[in-house]
Amino acid sequence: MSGNPKSLVFTMCFGLVYMVCFYFNWALFRFYPSYTQFSIGPLGPEAGPVIMWYGWMAWAFVVSLVAALVVPKTVAARLNPTLVWGISAAVLAGTMWYEKRWFI
């Protein structure tokens, strides 16, 4: 396998953590475009619509980075790339299943 095996750990974790954060609406922070302001908690209805995507991405990045740093390189090197692709496909399928509510 070429490249850094820890990137496989990062990739698997990122997709899984992002999907969990998306599903449960867990955001590290929120962005309010009408105020052009980031916030840890909700500002209230007067702040207008909120963008949670940045916070979901931040959680996924932080957790995946920690996982990639904690998992020993020898363990990461034994990961099968098919497993990484399988988990990525499962994350995509899970996200599509969850989002079907917008189309049905």
Per residue, the 3-state secondary structure of the chain, as one string, reads CCCCCHHHHHHHHHHHHHHHHHHHCCCCCEEECCCCEEECCCCCHHHCCCECHHHHHHHHHHHHHHHHHHCCHHHHHCCCHHHHHHHHHHHHHHHHHHHHHHCC
Summarised one tens digit per residue, pLDDT across range 30-73 is: 999 999 999 998 998 999 999 999 999 999 999 999 999 999 99
Residue 27, in any domain of the structure: yes
Residue 24, in any domain of the structure: yes
pTM higher than the cut 0.95 = no
Residue 29, in any domain of the structure: yes
Residue 66, in any domain of the structure: yes
Residue 1, in any domain of the structure: no
pLDDT of residue 2: 57
Domain that holds residue 91: 6-102
**Residue 24 token pair:** 């449960």
Residue 88, in any domain of the structure: yes
Residue 6 clears pLDDT 80, i.e. is over it: yes
**Residue 55 token pair:** 């916070």
In the chain, the number of structural domains is: 1
Residue 97, in any domain of the structure: yes
Residue 44, in any domain of the structure: yes
Round to whole Å and give the CA distance between 36 and 39. Answer: 10
